[in-house]
């Protein structure tokens, strides 16, 4: 960072520059500036927040004299209010007056947050230099975006994956075609040979009509028929074998492409899935890759063959009769112009059809796996109606595109037929009049060539159609292939031993820029600590765990494990050291054994059995008819909630993790099952750093530290007794819960009596 | 759970307090100050179910329908909502181009001219069934075309490809 130049997010507007040049006092310097984009009264306009070494100045034409200035020492509090699509900064002055001083969109909201913290900190008398370091890091983060496309880069100055691999779509996909070159080349040579063979029959027909039949040459007839037969046999063999080779190479292309897309999808960060429906991702992996395969084969094969055929026919036609050839070419400009128009019209339809189809797929992926929920809420009809609605939307768009896709071929076919009629009319009259040496055989042969000639013309006219479809597919597939994967800065850094000390330092996080989910999180967890995290729904408990699991990395501040930033540790290694048990355990469509061994695929049978035993799962597994070989469905069909939970605990046990995370692991089970699970958890956690999110506060009886989270902040932290003594939020939660437990108990007793 | 305080018609008087806040006085004399109106359905119900939140972000009352309350009260609430929700209405598409996988738009809105980038046309541009089109730009700002069918032909040609 250049110390003499103020930090700024973009070019300073004239009025702010004018202020900085004329109004600064002696020895006062501008430290940083935030150039905003809204005026105080909601119009897009450049306004500027200038932070000097002494004061905060806002240059906005709506302030009196065009600016507002306040010394740090006069400001009591700076608050930032994030609204919907815009935010404002308020100063509460020491006099008690509250003033809205700056208004901006989310484009500069992060910088304004930092500026607000800076003003308050310096106002409190904290060291300006130290605060400037925080500001500088925020500016640096802001610059961590690609200047070309605006994507967040892996690190400041890193090359943008998207722009780096921009290139042409075809050249990107060529990577998948290249390994198939030998096969494709063979297929291409075969195609050219069969095309050349296809050009032979019309010439032989001409001889038959003009020479052999009128002169009764029997021997020649047999020879020509045999030649025709031979050409058909060889052509059929060539085409059959070529199709076989093409199928193989096509399948290989789509296999590699699909593998890559799926693998990439596994490594995409959670924020990608927050914004993209799973249906849309599945559609890209299954449908779009097929479309691309078809297109790649078209490009690598048919274009060459059709071009070869087109040129070959034109040459033969011109050799046979140049005047008729010119006539045959008459409809071509019409077909080409039509194709161009058609391509422009059809492009938006492909995108729209895909969008509608993705919506249909989303309904499928949402409702079919959740069929139990649908049925239990009698939602079959609603689900069917929703599906019908989306399907109807798809139908509407698809049928509108069908109007264009069906009209164009009909028009082309009509124009082409007219071209043939022209040849019949003009050529026929020349044969009758005997002009130009045109014989009936030559005319018949010429007409065969003309019909063959329109084949490639049609092909190239329709190429734009499949090109547009493939372009839309390529765009979506490349959206996954080019997406930034989860950053793994510490790849290869696998510490020998994990003690389990966890520290959150000044952590702030928001999913979108509208609302901060976590603010100022500072927490130290010692190795072996059992920490309970409590709070009301939506307070930020699970988000805290999500950050620890590195599902989201775009937070401010640091999370340390044994003194090392978790971002600097190899991600796979790091996650392998954490056992994570969720509220709703997911089961894969596999055996119970493989479900337990998911994290340690090469685990010994006895290790798996021991893990199941520790998790109190062994006893019910052995009662299953197929024991450990029992197949489980997507959500563990056939097992109760508690049983699924115990399998997921066994999964965690087998990993032998240094850190354990339980995200409301007993929230959805009855008291008896809860006891069994609790027993399993207690066995598992001994000696391990454990974080437990719990709704039922009774499950935290073993915790030696309890953290209370509220509205994204840690509001209380201490032992159970300390917090009870504090009589704060935790105390109230305990009161409320014991009251409701008492009521339920009373009700149960009344019913029993 | 407390009974929710609904405001249906003229049983409440709402006055503008300043920057996105109002005061509420019920016909029975109860007074609530410094409340922030927010939409419960910012996309699908612009004038229905407006909640009034106190400084602790706890709901104090819920307006069922803005159209049914006193005109002065409605004006006060609408003013606050306009301040809080900034969804510029796009009146004209001046330019649209695709660069490096980004859609770059330059548009005219009721807030003035604006240029913004859309990262993903599939997830960041939503066309609703009533003709409205919603945009989310790369900074999470929102924009709206109130009725896409009413755009001029040139604008329509530019936007058509992304819908």
Q: Which residue has the higher pLDDT, A402 or A168?
A: A402
Q: A159: which chain B residues are within 8 Å (Cβ-Cβ)?
A: none
Give percent above pLDDT 70 in chain A.
88
Q: Beta strands B102-109 and B31-41: pairing type?
A: unpaired
pTM of the model: 0.60
Comparing A124-138, A285-299, A599-613, B114-128, the range with the smallest average pLDDT is A285-299
Question: Cβ separation of B112 and A476 shorter than 8 Å?
Answer: no
Please, are residues A591 and A632 in contact by the beta-carbon 8 Å criterion? yes
A28 forms bridges with which residues in the sheet?
A: none
User: Chain B contact for A149, CB < 8 A?
Assistant: yes
Q: Searching chain A, which residue's CA lies closest to the CA of residue B144?
A: A85
Q: Searching chain B, which residue's CA lies closest to the CA of residue A515?
A: B140
Q: How far apart are CA A434 and CA A426, in angstroms?
A: 12
Is 60 exceeded by the pLDDT of residue A3?
no
pLDDT recorded at residue A318: 86
Q: How far apart are CA A26 and CA A53, in angstroms?
A: 11
Residue in B37, B32, B133 with CA at minimum distance from that of residue B90 = B133
Residue in A631, A625, A551, A645 with CA at minimum distance from that of residue A588 = A631
Region of A538 (left: φ > 0; alpha: ψ -120 to 50; beta: rest) is left
Q: How far apart are CA A724 and CA A730, in angstroms?
A: 7
Q: Which pLDDT band, with edges at 50, 70 and 90, does A503 fall under? A: very high
pLDDT recorded at residue A50: 93
Question: Cβ separation of A106 and B122 shorter than 8 Å?
Answer: no
Is 50 exceeded by the pLDDT of residue A491?
yes
Write out the residue limits of the CATH 3.40.50.300 domain(s) in chain A.
488-575+693-748
Helical H runs in A52-199?
A: 109-123, 128-142, 161-164, 169-177, 181-198
pLDDT recorded at residue A275: 64
Residue in A494, A545, A490 with CA at minimum distance from that of residue A523 = A545
Of A1-10, A193-202, A477-486, the range with the highest mean pLDDT is A193-202
Q: Which of A42, A348, A513 sits opposite B86 (nearest CB)?
A: A42
Chain A, 174 to 203: residues with Cβ < 8 Å from chain B are none
Q: How far apart are CA A598 and CA A377, in angstroms?
A: 33
Q: Hey, is A257 helix, strand or coil?
A: helix
Q: Give me the mean pLDDT over the A195-210 stretch.
A: 84
Entry field: residues in chain A: 753
Q: How far apart are CA A459 and CA A221, in angstroms?
A: 35
Q: Give me the mean pLDDT over the A686-698 stretch.
A: 80
pLDDT recorded at residue A279: 67
* Each residue's pLDDT tens digit, A263-287: 888 887 777 776 666 767 777 777 7
Residue B141: CB atoms within 10 Å: 22
Q: At what angle do helices A440-481 and A218-266 cross, to 10 degrees?
A: 10
Q: Which residue has the higher pLDDT, B139 or A147?
A: B139
User: Chain B contact for A163, CB < 8 A?
Assistant: yes
pLDDT recorded at residue A104: 92
Q: Which pLDDT band, with edges at 50, 70 and 90, does A347 fall under? A: confident
pLDDT recorded at residue A173: 75
Is 70 exceeded by the pLDDT of residue A720?
yes
Is 50 exceeded by the pLDDT of residue A332?
yes
Question: Cβ separation of A84 and B85 shorter than 8 Å?
Answer: yes
Write out the residue limits of the CATH 1.20.1560.10 domain(s) in chain A.
169-481
Comparing A486-490, A495-499, A538-542, A703-707, the range with the smallest average pLDDT is A486-490
Q: What is the least distance, in Å, from the CA of A235 to any CA of chain B? A: 44
pLDDT recorded at residue A156: 53
* C-alpha torsion sign, points A562, A564, A570, A572: positive
Q: Give me the mean pLDDT over the B120-125 stretch.
A: 76
Is 50 exceeded by the pLDDT of residue A635?
no
Is 70 exceeded by the pLDDT of residue A384?
yes
* In CATH, A7-142 is 2.30.29.30: yes
Mutation site for A-interface testing, chosen from B53, B79, B86 by largest number of A Cβ within 10 Å? B86
pLDDT recorded at residue A465: 64
Q: What is the 3-state secondary structure (H, E, C) of A132-171?
A: HHHHHHHHHHHCCECCCCCCECCCCCCCCHHHHCCCCHHH
Q: Which of A85, A109, A149 sits opposite B86 (nearest CB)?
A: A85
Mutation site for B-interface testing, chosen from A44, A83, A85, A169 by largest number of B Cβ within 10 Å? A85
pLDDT recorded at residue B67: 92
Helix or strand (DSSP H, E) at A224 = helix A218-266
User: Chain B contact for A85, CB < 8 A?
Assistant: yes
Q: Which pLDDT band, with edges at 50, 70 and 90, does A637 fall under? A: low
As a CATH number, domain A169-481 is 1.20.1560.10
Chain B, 107 to 136: residues with Cβ < 8 Å from chain A are 109, 111-114, 117, 119-123
Q: Which residue has the higher pLDDT, A612 or A280?
A: A612
* Each residue's pLDDT tens digit, A724-747: 888 888 888 888 877 766 676 666
Question: Cβ separation of B101 and A149 shorter than 8 Å?
Answer: yes
Comparing A192-206, A453-467, A580-594, B71-85, the range with the smallest average pLDDT is A453-467
Is 90 exceeded by the pLDDT of residue A187?
no
Q: Beta strands B31-41 and A564-565: pairing type?
A: unpaired
User: Chain B contact for A105, CB < 8 A?
Assistant: yes
Q: Give me the mean pLDDT over the B2-18 stretch.
A: 85
Class of CATH domain B90-160: mainly beta
Q: What is the least distance, in Å, from the CA of B65 to any CA of chain A? A: 21
Comparing A124-138, A157-171, A179-193, B68-82, the range with the smallest average pLDDT is A157-171
Please, are residues B31 and B23 in contact by the beta-carbon 8 Å criterion? yes
Mean pLDDT score across all residues of chain A: 81
Is 70 exceeded by the pLDDT of residue A166?
no
Q: Which of B19, B101, B163 sits opposite A352 (nearest CB)?
A: B163
Q: Which pLDDT band, with edges at 50, 70 and 90, does B76 fall under? A: very high
Give percent above pLDDT 90 in chain A.
8
Write out the residue limits of the CATH 2.30.29.30 domain(s) in chain A.
7-142
Entry field: residues in chain B: 163
Is 70 exceeded by the pLDDT of residue A61?
yes
pLDDT recorded at residue A753: 46
Q: Give me the mean pLDDT over the A383-412 stretch.
A: 83
Q: B87: which chain A residues are within 8 Å (Cβ-Cβ)?
A: 84-85
Q: Which residue has the higher pLDDT, A580 or A633?
A: A580
Q: What is the least distance, in Å, from the CA of A81 to any CA of chain B? A: 10
Q: Give me the mean pLDDT over the B48-74 stretch.
A: 90
* Each residue's pLDDT tens digit, A567-580: 888 888 888 888 88
Q: Give me the mean pLDDT over the A447-465 stretch.
A: 76
| ipTM for the assembly | 0.82
pLDDT recorded at residue A599: 82
Beta strands in A440-586 (DSSP E): 502-509, 518-525, 530-534, 556-561, 564-565, 578-581
User: Chain A contact for B87, CB < 8 A?
Assistant: yes
Q: What is the least distance, in Å, from the CA of B86 to any CA of chain A? A: 5
Q: Give me the mean pLDDT over the B14-40 stretch.
A: 91
- The full set of domain ranges for chain B reads 6-84, 90-160
Q: How far apart are CA B91 and CA B82, in angstroms?
A: 18
Q: Phi and psi of A493, rounded to 5°?
A: -90, 95
Superfamily (CATH) of domain A488-575+693-748: P-loop containing nucleotide triphosphate hydrolases (3.40.50.300)
Q: A45: which chain B residues are within 8 Å (Cβ-Cβ)?
A: 112
Contacts of A35 (CB under 8 A, 6+ apart): A8, A9, A10, A11, A12, A13, A16, A46, A47, A48, A108
Q: How far apart are CA A19 and CA A326, in angstroms?
A: 75
Chain A, 225 to 284: residues with Cβ < 8 Å from chain B are 275-276, 280
């Amino acid at each position: 960072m250049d110390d003499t130049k103020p930090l700024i997010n973009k070019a300073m507007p004239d009025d702010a520059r004018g202020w900085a040049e004329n109004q600064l006092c002696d020895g006062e310097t501008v430290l940083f500036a935030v150039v905003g984009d809204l005026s105080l009264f909601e119009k897009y306009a450049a306004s500027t927040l200038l932070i000097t070494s002494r004061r905060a100045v806002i240059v906005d034409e709506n302030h009196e004299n065009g600016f507002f200035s306040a010394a740090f020492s006069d400001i009591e509090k700076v608050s930032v209010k994030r609204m919907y699509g815009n935010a404002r900064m308020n100063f509460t002055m020491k006099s008690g007056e509250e003033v809205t001083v700056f208004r901006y969109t989310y484009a500069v909201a992060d910088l304004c947050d930092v500026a607000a913290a800076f003003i308050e900190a310096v106002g409190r008398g904290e060291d300006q230099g130290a605060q400037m370091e925080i500001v500088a890091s925020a500016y640096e983060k802001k610059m961590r975006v690609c200047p070309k496309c605006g994507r967040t880069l892996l690190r400041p100055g890193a090359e943008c994956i998207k722009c780096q691999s921009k290139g042409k779509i075809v050249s990107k996909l060529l990577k998948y075609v290249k390994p198939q070159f030998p096969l494709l080349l063979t297929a291409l040579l075969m195609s050219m040979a069969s095309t050349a063979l296809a050009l032979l029959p019309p010439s032989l027909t001409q001889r038959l009509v003009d020479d052999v039949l009128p002169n009764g040459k029997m021997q020649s007839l047999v020879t020509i028929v045999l030649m025709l037969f031979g050409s058909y046999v060889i052509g059929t063999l060539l085409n059959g074998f070529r199709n076989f080779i093409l199928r193989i190479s096509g399948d290989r292309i789509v296999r590699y492409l699909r593998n890559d897309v799926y693998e990439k999808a596994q490594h995409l960060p959670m924020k990608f899935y927050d914004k993209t429906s799973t249906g849309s991702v599945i559609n890209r992996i299954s449908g779009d890759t097929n479309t691309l395969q078809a297109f790649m084969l078209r490009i690598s094969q048919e274009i060459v063959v059709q071009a070869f055929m087109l040129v070959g026919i034109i040459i033969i036609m011109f050799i046979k009769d140049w005047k008729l050839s010119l006539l045959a070419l008459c409809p071509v400009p019409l077909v080409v112009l039509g194709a161009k128009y058609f391509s422009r019209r059809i492009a938006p339809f492909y995108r729209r059809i895909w969008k509608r189809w993705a919506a249909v797929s989303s309904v499928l992926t949402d409702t079919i796996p959740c069929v139990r929920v649908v049925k239990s809420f009698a939602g079959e009809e609603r689900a069917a109606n929703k599906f019908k609605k989306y399907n109807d939307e798809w139908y509407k768009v698809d049928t509108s595109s069908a109007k264009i896709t069906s009209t164009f071929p009909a028009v082309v076919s009509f124009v082409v037929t007219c071209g043939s009629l022209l040849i019949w009319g003009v050529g026929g009259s020349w044969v009758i009049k005997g002009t130009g040496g045109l014989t009936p055989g030559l005319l018949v042969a010429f007409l065969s060539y003309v019909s063959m000639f329109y084949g490639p013309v049609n092909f190239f006219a329709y190429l734009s159609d499949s090109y547009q479809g493939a372009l839309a597919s390529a765009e979506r597939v490349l959206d996954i292939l080019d997406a930034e994967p989860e950053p793994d800065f510490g790849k290869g850094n696998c510490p020998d031993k994990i003690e389990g000390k966890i520290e959150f330092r000044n952590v702030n996080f928001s999913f979108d820029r509208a609302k901060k989910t976590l603010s100022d999180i500072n927490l130290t967890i010692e190795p072996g600590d059992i920490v309970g995290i409590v709070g009301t729904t939506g307070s930020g408990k699970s988000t805290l765990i999500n950050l620890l699991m590195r599902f989201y990395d775009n937070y401010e501040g640091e999370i340390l494990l044994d003194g090392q930033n978790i971002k600097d540790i190899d991600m796979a290694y790091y996650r392998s050291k954490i056992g994570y048990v969720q509220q709703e355990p997911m089961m894969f469509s596999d055996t119970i054994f493989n479900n337990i061994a998911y994290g340690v695929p090469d685990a010994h049978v006895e290790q798996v059995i021991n893990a199941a035993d520790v998790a109190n799962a062994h006893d019910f597994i052995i009662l299953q008819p197929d024991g450990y070989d029992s197949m489980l469905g997507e959500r563990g069909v056939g097992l109760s909630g508690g049983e699924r939970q115990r399998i997921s605990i066994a999964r965690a046990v087998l990993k032998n993790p240094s850190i354990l995370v339980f995200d409301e692991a007993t929230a959805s089970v009855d008291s008896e099952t809860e006891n069994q699970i609790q027993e399993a958890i207690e066995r598992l956690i001994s000696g391990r750093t454990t974080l437990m999110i719990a709704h039922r506060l009774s499950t935290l009886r073993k915790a030696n530290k309890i953290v209370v989270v509220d509205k994204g902040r840690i509001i209380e932290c201490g032992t159970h007794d300390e917090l009870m003594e504090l009589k704060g939020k935790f105390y109230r939660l305990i009161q409320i819960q014991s009251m409701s437990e008492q009521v339920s108990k009373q009700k149960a007793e009344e019913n029993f009596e | 759970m407390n009974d929710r305080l609904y405001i249906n018609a003229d049983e409440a008087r709402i006055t503008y307090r300043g920057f996105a806040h109002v005061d509420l006085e019920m016909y029975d004399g109860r007074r609530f100050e410094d409340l922030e109106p927010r939409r419960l359905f910012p996309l699908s119900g612009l004038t229905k179910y407006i909640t009034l939140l106190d400084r602790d972000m706890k709901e104090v009352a819920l307006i069922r329908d803005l159209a049914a309350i006193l005109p002065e009260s409605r004006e006060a609430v609408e003013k606050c909502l306009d301040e809080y929700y900034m969804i510029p209405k796009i009146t004209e598409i001046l330019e649209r181009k695709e660069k490096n996988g980004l859609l770059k738009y330059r548009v005219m809105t009721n807030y003035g001219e604006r240029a913004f980038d859309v990262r993903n046309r599939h997830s960041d541009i939503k066309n609703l069934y009533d003709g409205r089109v919603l945009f989310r730009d790369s900074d999470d700002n929102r924009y709206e075309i109130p009725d896409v069918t009413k755009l001029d032909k040139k604008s329509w040609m530019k936007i058509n490809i992304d819908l």
